[in-house]
Amino acid sequence: MKIAVIGLGQMGEHMAERILDAGHALTVYNRTAARAEALRARGATVAATPAKAAAGAEVVVTMLADDTAVEQVVFGADGILPTLGSGVHVSMSTIGVAMAQRLVSAHTGRGQRYLSAPVFGRPEAAAAGKLYIVVGGDESIIDSVQPLFDVVGQRTYRVGADATAANLIKLCGNFLLQSMVQAMAEAFALVRKAGIDPARFKDIMTSSLFNAPAYHTYGDLIAAEKDDQGGYTASLALKDNRLALAAADALQVPMPFASTIHDQFITAMARGYERRDQSVLGRIAAENAGIGDGSR
Amino acid sequence: MKIAVIGLGQMGEHMAERILDAGHALTVYNRTAARAEALRARGATVAATPAKAAAGAEVVVTMLADDTAVEQVVFGADGILPTLGSGVHVSMSTIGVAMAQRLVSAHTGRGQRYLSAPVFGRPEAAAAGKLYIVVGGDESIIDSVQPLFDVVGQRTYRVGADATAANLIKLCGNFLLQSMVQAMAEAFALVRKAGIDPARFKDIMTSSLFNAPAYHTYGDLIAAEKDDQGGYTASLALKDNRLALAAADALQVPMPFASTIHDQFITAMARGYERRDQSVLGRIAAENAGIGDGSR
Amino acid sequence: MKIAVIGLGQMGEHMAERILDAGHALTVYNRTAARAEALRARGATVAATPAKAAAGAEVVVTMLADDTAVEQVVFGADGILPTLGSGVHVSMSTIGVAMAQRLVSAHTGRGQRYLSAPVFGRPEAAAAGKLYIVVGGDESIIDSVQPLFDVVGQRTYRVGADATAANLIKLCGNFLLQSMVQAMAEAFALVRKAGIDPARFKDIMTSSLFNAPAYHTYGDLIAAEKDDQGGYTASLALKDNRLALAAADALQVPMPFASTIHDQFITAMARGYERRDQSVLGRIAAENAGIGDGSR
Amino acid sequence: MKIAVIGLGQMGEHMAERILDAGHALTVYNRTAARAEALRARGATVAATPAKAAAGAEVVVTMLADDTAVEQVVFGADGILPTLGSGVHVSMSTIGVAMAQRLVSAHTGRGQRYLSAPVFGRPEAAAAGKLYIVVGGDESIIDSVQPLFDVVGQRTYRVGADATAANLIKLCGNFLLQSMVQAMAEAFALVRKAGIDPARFKDIMTSSLFNAPAYHTYGDLIAAEKDDQGGYTASLALKDNRLALAAADALQVPMPFASTIHDQFITAMARGYERRDQSVLGRIAAENAGIGDGSR
C-alpha cells in the first residue's frame, strides 16, 4: 500500500518504521523536519507539507500530539483535506470527541473516507507492533486498512460505524489508567508513611488481585519514584484528562474521579513536573503526605 | 492441629470446612449458633462462647465482620483473652489498624502469641482454598501456623514483624479495588450515555491493559448491572473505606479518591442500596448521569 | 451620551431602561427582535444588527449570555468591530478570561477603546441601579464612561489597566457564590435529615456569622426548596463554573471546590434541572441524602 | 448563681472572667492547674477535680477541647457525674453528636439536668460577652440558665428539646465557615497567580456580596498570609471537620465539600501546619498553585 504517516513523535516514528519494514511505500511529514531524516535514510519519502504527503496516498495516518495539531494538519493551510482524494484518513491520535466529529463531518461532506483508530500502548509497544487499536467507522473501509493495523498492532477492536465511539473509548481507557495511577499513588503514600516498603506492597497486589500489565508498569514506576523515565508525560495525561472531562460535560455525566485527577495534574504542572511521566501523581501524593524527595 | 474458628459468616464457614477436610480438630463458635450446625454434623465441636472455643486450642482464628465484633470476641465477657493460653490468635478479619494495635498490645502484654492475617478473595475463593493471605507478626509464629494457611490460601505473603502492617496492606488493597470499581463506574456511565455497549468496552479493557481478575469480575457486574449478586456488600465496603480513611487520618496522608468513594457509598446507603454488592457504585454513577434503572 | 446596548436579556433590558430614564440617547439590539419593542415604545432606537447599533455610539455596552454570543456580536458578520469607530466597547457580560483577552487585542489592534466591566447583582439589582461594577482598563476611558456606570450601578470598583483582571474577579466572585450555595446545600441536607428545620438553621447562621445578603437570598431559596424561582439558572452557573475552571487551568491553579461544583451542576443537568436556579444544588444534595421531593 | 466552669482554655477563661465580673460565685477546674491562678486571684475558688468543682454548683459549664476531654471530665475517675446532683450540666464545647447523645443519656438516666449549648465566636468575642449561643434541651432548664447565657453571649438561639440538635447546628456552622475559608483560599490563589492583589479582591467581595464578619476576618487573614495569628488552629478545625463527617456518615448524608476540606486539613497536618490558624487553607491552596512562601 501507499501509506503516509503525518506526525513523527515517539509513537508515529515507531509505527513508520514498522510500515517500512513491512514493505509498504511510505511518505512521511513532520513539522520539525529533522525528525524525518532517519526514515528518509531507510527509504521513506519526506513530504514538505501535509497536503503533499496525502496526495496520492491510499492511507493517510495522522499521529499527532493534540487537537490543535490535528486541526492544523487537516484544516490548516497545506492541510490534507484538499489532497486526500480517494485515500482513507486514519486518525490514530488521542483527540477529543468533538474534534473527531469535525473530522467525520469534514471528510464525509467531501465524499472522503475516514476512520478513527486511536491506540493503547506506550512507545515500546509501538516499536514492537504490539499496540491495541480501537477502530470506528465503516466496516469495508476498516477491511481495506486492516493490513496496516496488523503491522502496527497486536489486536484490532472494531467498535461500529460511528467513528467517534473509538475516540471516546480511548479517552475512557486513559481515564481508567489515570485512575489506577492515582489510586496507587494514594495507597503507596499511605503504606510508605506507615514504614512499609511500597515495592513489597506492589508485589502483593500485582501477584494477586491486580495481575495486569498496567499495574506492573505503573506500580514499579511509583514504588521506585522513577517518574523521570516514563514515556507518557504529565502534560499529555492532563490533555487526555481534559478531553475526557469535556466529553463527559457534553454528555452530562458527572465524573468525580476525573475531576480529582484534573486537580492533581494541575498541581503537578504548578510544581514544574510537566515533563515527568504521569506516574508523577505518586510524587504529588507523597509530597502532600509530607514524605518523599520533594516534601518539605 | 487443634484449631478454633470464631465467626462463621460466608468466609469463616468455608474456611472451617476446609480445615475439617484437611483433618484438623476443629472447634467453632458463632454468635448465631444455628450457623454452626452444618459444621457440627461434619465433625466440628461447637463451643458456647468464644472463651470456651479458645480454651485448649493451638490456633484460634477470628473471622468477623468488623471491629466491634472483634472487640466483643476478644475483650468482652466470655472473650478469648483469658483462655487463649499458649495458643496463637490469628486475626483474619478486615479490621482497622488501631484495633489491630490493641490486639497486639493486649496479647503481648499477657505473653500471648498473635498474628494479623487478613485475606484477599471472595467467598468462592475461600471455598476453594484460593485466598491470598497477608500475614504480619513473629516469623516463628507464622511458621507454626503455616500449615493452616496452606489449607485456606493459595499463597501467603509475609510482611514482617509488625503485625499491623498486614492490616494496613489489606485496607490499601481494598481501597485499590474500590477505586477500580469507581473508575469503571464513571467510565461505563460515560460510554453508555454515548450509546456504546458497556460490555464491549469492558471486553476491550480487560483484554488489553487491564487483564486482571478484579477487572473481569467487577467489569461484568457493572456492565450487566448485576449488583444484586455480589458477595461483598456496599455496607462492608463502606466500613473498609472508613478504616482506610481512619488509618490515613492517623498517619496524615490525604486520600482524595478515598474521600470521593466515601461520598459515593454514603449516597448508596441513603438510596437504600446497603445490601447490594460494592459494584453498586456503577448504579450510583449511572443514576447521577441520568441513565439506568433508577434514573429519574 | 449616545449609548448602545446589545443584548436585552433580563440584565440588559433593565440596564437599558435605566439608561433611557437617565436621559441618554439609546440604541438597542437583540437577536430576538421582539424583546426590543418595549424599549422602542419608551424612546429607544432599535438597530437591525450589532454593527448598526454600534455605528455612531459613544459607548457600546454588550450584555450577553456567553462567550459564543459575544464572539458573534463582536467578530461575526454584522459585528461591531468595523463600526465601533471612536466609541468605547464596554463588555459587561460574564465571559472567560481568554475571550476578554481576544477583545482587548482586537480593539487595541484597531486603535479602538475597550473596557471589561462585568457586574455582580441579580436582575432586581439591575432594575434598581444597584449593581456592583468591576471595571478594568485605561483610567481615562473609565472616567469617560463613569456616568453610565453611575446609572446602572451602586458602586464601581476600578481594578487597573489590565481589563481582563475584571473578568477574572467576576469569575472568582461567582465561584465564591457557588461555593457558598454548595456548602449550604450540604449543611441544610444534614440538618434536615436530623429533623431540624432548615429555615431555623438559616436564621441562626444569617443573624450571626453570615449576615450577608448572599446568604440570606440563597439560604431562603434552599431552605424553602424554591429553586424554581431564581433568576440565575443552573445552566448559566455551570457556564461560569467552566470559565473559572478554564482560567484556573490556564494559570495552573488546582481548585478542588470548583471541580466538585462542576460535578454537582453536571448532575443537575443530567436530572433535567437546567432551568432551575443555581440553588438547585440544594436539591441535588437533598436527593443524594435520600430526602426531599425528588428522593427515591 | 453558684457556677462552676471546667476547662480554662482561651474560651473558658474569658467566660469565667465575665461570670466573676457579673457577681456570680465561681468555682473553676482546669487540668493544668496553673491556668486557674489568675482567676483565683480575682475571687474564684479553684477545685482539685471536676467532681469537686461540680459538687454544690447550680450550673456546671464544660468548655473543653474535644470529645476525649469531655469524656474524662464527665465519665472519668473524679468526673462530675456522681457529684452533679441537682445542678445543670451545660456542655458548651464543640463535640460530636454521638458524644452529646451519651451525655443526654447519662444525665437523664440519673435524673440529672443537661443542656447542649455550644457557641460561635472567637476568643475576642468570648472576652466581650459577644458569643452566639445555640442551646438545646428542656425549655424550663434553659430559662434557669439564661442569666448565665446573657453574661457570656450576645444572643441565645433555642433550638428545641433535643439537646443534640444544638451540637449538630454548631458543627454545620463550623462547616460553613470552613467551606468559606476553602473557597476564598482557592479564589485568592487564582487571583494572586493572575497578578491581582488579593487584598483588593477581598475588598470588592466584602463590600458587595459578602459583607459579613466572617468574610472580613478570614479574607484579611488569607490575603495577608497571617495564618500564624489566628485563634482557631488547623488541628481544632480538623477535629470539627471529623465530627461533621461523622454526623453525616451516621445520618447517611454525602458531603463532598466536607470531604475535600478533610483532605486539605490533612495536607496541612502533613506539612507541619497544625498550630496555624484554619486560614492555613489559603497557604495550602497557594502552595499547590506553585505560589507563596512555601511553594517550591
Q: What is the ipTM of this complex?
A: 0.96
Asked if C271's CB is within 8 angstroms of B296's CB, the reply is yes
Question: Residue B105's pLDDT is what?
Answer: 98
Residue B247 forms contact with A (CB below 8 Å): yes
Q: Which residues of D touch B266 (CB under 8 A)?
A: 248-249, 252-254
Tell me which of C202, C208, C266 to substitute to probe the interface with D (most D C-beta atoms closer than 10 Å): C208
Which residues in chain B touch residue C272, judged by CB atoms under 8 angstroms apart?
290, 296
Work out the mean pLDDT of chain A and round it to a whole number: 95
Using a CB-CB distance cutoff of 8 angstroms, which residues of chain B are in contact with residue C291?
A: 270
Three-class DSSP category at A5:
strand
Question: Where residue A122 falls among pLDDT bands split at 50, 70, 90?
Answer: confident
CA angle A124, A125, A131 (to 5 degrees): 160
Hey, are the CB atoms on C207 and D155 less than 8 Å from each other?
Answer: yes
**Given the DSSP bridges, would you call strands B113-116 and B119-120 parallel, antiparallel or unpaired?**
unpaired
Q: What are the residues facing C132 on neighbouring strands?
A: C120, C155
Measured CA to CA in angstroms, residue C160 lies from C99, C113, C157 at distances of 18, 15, 9
The string of pLDDT tens digits covering residues C48-62 is 999 999 999 999 999
The one-digit pLDDT tens for each residue of chain B (296 residues) are 999 999 999 999 999 999 999 999 999 999 999 999 999 999 999 999 999 999 999 999 999 999 999 999 999 999 999 999 999 999 999 999 999 999 999 999 999 999 999 999 988 999 999 999 999 999 999 999 999 999 999 999 999 999 999 999 999 999 999 999 999 999 999 999 999 999 999 999 999 999 998 999 999 999 998 888 767 899 999 999 999 999 999 999 999 999 999 999 999 999 999 999 999 999 999 999 999 754 43
Nearest to A129 by CA among A282, A273, A278, A19: A19
The H-assigned helical ranges of chain D are 10-21, 37-41, 50-54, 67-75, 97-109, 123-127, 139-152, 163-193, 198-206, 213-223, 234-251, 256-270, 280-288
| Of residues C291, C105, C255, C289, the one with CA closest to residue C176 | C255
Do residues C110 and C87 lie in contact, with contact meaning Cβ atoms separated by under 8 Å? no
Alpha carbon distance D230, D214 (integer Å): 13
Cβ pair C264:A242 closer than 8 A? no
How many CB atoms sit inside 10 A of residue B140's CB? 8
Contact with chain A for residue C266, Cβ under 8 A: yes
Amino acid identity, position B41: A
What letter does residue D33 receive in the DSSP assignment?
Answer: G
The C-alpha cell at B72 is 466483643
Q: What is the per-residue pLDDT for A130?
A: 97
Cell of B141: 509464629
**Phi, psi for B207 (deg, rounded to 5):** -105, 5
Measured in angstroms, the CA of C170 and the nearest CA of chain B are apart by 29
> How close B252 comes to chain C (CA, Å)?
19
Give B267's contacts in chain D (Cβ within 8 Å).
254
Query: Does residue C295 have a pLDDT over 80?
Result: no
Cβ of residue A177 closer than 8 Å to a chain B Cβ:
yes
Maximum pairwise Cα distance, chain C: 63
Distance CA A113, CA A163 (A): 11
What does the pLDDT read at residue A294? 47
Chain A contacts in chain B segment 4-63 (CB below 8 A): none
Quick one: pLDDT at residue B296? 39
Q: Which residues of B touch C289 (CB under 8 A)?
A: 267, 270
- State how far the Cα of D151 lies from the Cα of A45, in Å rounded to an integer: 91
- Show pLDDT as tens, one digit a residue, over chain D (296 residues): 999 999 999 999 999 999 999 999 999 999 999 999 999 999 999 999 999 999 999 999 999 999 999 999 999 999 999 999 999 999 999 999 999 999 999 999 999 999 999 999 988 999 999 999 999 999 999 999 999 999 999 999 999 999 999 999 999 999 999 999 999 999 999 999 999 999 999 999 999 999 998 999 999 999 998 888 767 899 999 999 999 999 999 999 999 999 999 999 999 999 999 999 999 999 999 999 999 754 43
Candidates A249, A261, A264, A288, partner chain C, best to mutate (most C CBs within 10 A): A249
A283 CA to centre of own chain:
22
Higher pLDDT, B24 or C295: B24
C256 and D264 in contact by Cβ < 8 A? yes
Cell of A58: 491510499
Question: What pLDDT is attached to residue C122?
Answer: 87
CA angle A160, A163, A164 (to 5 degrees): 115
The yes-or-no answer on residue D170 being catalytic is: yes
pLDDT band at C4 (very low <50, low <70, confident <90, very high): very high
User: Cα C169–C174–C177 angle (5° rounding)?
Assistant: 130
- Express each pLDDT in B99-130 by its tens digit: 999 999 999 999 999 999 999 998 899 999 99
| Contact assessment for residue C186 and residue D257, using Cβ atoms and an 8 Å cutoff | yes
Distance CA B270, CA B275 (A): 12
The answer, yes or no, to whether residue C294 has pLDDT greater than 50, is no
For residues C16 and D32, what is the distance between their CA atoms, to the nearest angstrom?
Answer: 68
Pick left, alpha or beta for residue A57 (phi over 0 → left; psi -120 to 50 → alpha; otherwise beta).
beta
The mean pLDDT value for C246-261 works out to 97
Q: ∠ CA(C282), CA(C284), CA(C286), 5° rounding?
A: 70
Tell me the C-alpha distance between C272 and A252, whole Å: 10
Q: Specify the pLDDT at position D293.
A: 59
